Amino acid sequence: MEASRRDLVGIAIGGLGAVGVIGVLYPIVKTLAPSAASLAGAVVEVDINSIPEGQVRVVSWKGKPVFVIKLPQGFQWSGKVREGNNSKLLQGQSVFTMIAVCTHLGCVPLWKPQGEAEYNYPVFHCPCHGGFYSPWGDIIAGPPPRPLYLPPQKVEGGKLIIGEAGFIKELT
């Protein structure tokens, strides 16, 4: 009789403990879980008119920084790339976006509209290990193994829409 009462008390305490653990863990697990938007493929809209020509804005898409680039009218670029197809994929687009994460070890490159080091034309420079990218994210020099990634994107109604298929249909 005494033993079964002890059992009951033990079960009750164990149950309360389990509720407490779940109560503590639930908010943590909820925080770590990807948001519904990121699972569904987040869409971010950027007002093109709010970006001055020749400048780059950094916004967040699916938890990653992305560059939104607005090239000046009639932009000419005199550099040479070592590798990459981005400029062909983005041909004719004066506003576009690229994932702002260096494909070498993940630093965020810097936009240098006046050029940098021996490159006297606009480049993205990744100072971590000396990576250089063209304004379209193709590789000029350094250790990056591939061009910057391009998210799906389109232009509609004065907005760049990141995350919807358009002139780039899927992550490339």
Give the sign of the dihedral formed by CA 79, CA 85, CA 87, CA 92. positive
Q: Is 128 in the site for ligand FES (CB under 6 A)?
A: yes
Judged by CB under 6 A, the residue of 67, 68, 70, 104 near ligand FES is 104
Contact stretch for ligand FES (CB under 6 A) within 39-47, 77-85, 104-112, 117-125 = 104-112
125 neighbors 132 (Cβ within 8 angstroms): yes
Q: Is 149 in the site for ligand FES (CB under 6 A)?
A: no
Judged by CB under 6 A, the residue of 107, 115, 149, 166 near ligand FES is 107
Contacts of 86 by beta carbon, 8 Å cutoff, 6+ apart: 98, 134, 136, 137, 138, 147, 148, 150
Q: Is 82 in the site for ligand FES (CB under 6 A)?
A: no
Contacts of 70 by beta carbon, 8 Å cutoff, 6+ apart: 48, 51, 52, 53, 54, 55, 56, 94, 95
Contact stretch for ligand FES (CB under 6 A) within 7-15, 24-32, 36-44, 138-146 = 138-146
The DSSP element (H or E) to which 85 belongs, if any, is: none
Q: Is 126 in the site for ligand FES (CB under 6 A)?
A: yes
Judged by CB under 6 A, the residue of 54, 115, 143, 166 near ligand FES is 143
44 vs 150, which CB is nearer to ligand FES? 150
CA distance 65 to 22: 34
Cβ at position 129, least distance to ligand FES in Å: 3
Q: Is 100 in the site for ligand FES (CB under 6 A)?
A: no
